Amino acid sequence: MKNLIIFGIGEIGKLAHYYFTNHSDYKVVAFTVDKKFVNQKKFCGQPLVEFEKIRILYPPQYHKIFIAIGYNKMNKIREKKYKLAKGLGYELASYISKEATILTSHPIGENCFILENNTIQPFVEIKNNVFLWSGNHVGHGTKIDDNCYISSQVVISGNVHIKANVFIGINSSIRDSIIIEKESLIGASSVIMENTQPKGVYVSEKTKCLNKSSDEIVISPKN
């Protein structure tokens, strides 16, 4: 088995440990974070060490690393740590679920996290440091650039270009042949029908609560 270090001790770090341990040929041997965040000796049963000492304790010749950080600051924290790990000489591991349908012949980039029930259609390109949570559809010919985070149940139609550091919230839909510009933030349940603006913020209206109680509503079954 290949030895793996996970950067991050939040929920994504815990999930990464689960997926890599149970559904990959990697063996997680340690966790790491910056020195100022080390407040315990172990995490998920593995040693927790300072990132500043990682190269000495776990040399890159014998270990790969995975950066398990979410979308804070439009994925820029994860991007920064990804580049630092590369600069230390580490190869970045990717996790691609065996329960995802991968039909593209293009290689998927480093430090990607592609969970179960994703459908990646032919001719899709996925660059480095891209997270695809469970149950997304990525249409044919779509290109996803570096450092993007796509939540669950997102439908991306064909030939879309998603530029770097984009966040797309749960249950969103993206029409075909448009460009999602750099650092666009697309909130949950949004419907995007045209090109976005760089650093644009797109949100759908919240579901309204009617001024009625539920027992006032009659729901008649259809015959």
- End residue of a domain, out of 62, 92, 122: 92
The answer to whether residue 218 is domain-embedded is no
Q: What does DSSP say about strands 155-156 and 125-126: parallel, antiparallel, or unpaired?
A: unpaired
**Residue 218 — very low, low, confident or very high, per pLDDT cuts 50/70/90?**
confident
**Residue 64 — very low, low, confident or very high, per pLDDT cuts 50/70/90?**
very high
Judge whether residue 148 has pLDDT over 80. yes
Q: Do both 169 and 112 map to the same domain?
A: yes
Which residues, other chains included, contact 187 with Cβ-Cβ below 8 Å and sequence gap of 6+? Answer: 169, 172, 201, 202, 203, 204
pLDDT digits (tens, 9 = 90+) for 20-55: 999 999 999 999 999 999 999 999 999 999 999 999
Q: Number of structural domains, the chain?
A: 2
pLDDT digits (tens, 9 = 90+) for 82-116: 999 999 999 999 999 999 999 999 999 999 999 99
Q: Do both 75 and 101 map to the same domain?
A: no
Query: Which own/partner contact pairs does 146-151 have at CB distance under 8 Å and 24+ positions apart?
Result: 146/79, 146/109, 147/75, 147/76, 147/78, 147/79, 147/82, 148/75, 149/70, 149/71, 149/75, 151/188
The answer to whether residue 207 is domain-embedded is no
The mean pLDDT of 135-146, rounded to a whole number, is: 98
pTM of the model: 0.94
The answer to whether residue 219 is domain-embedded is no
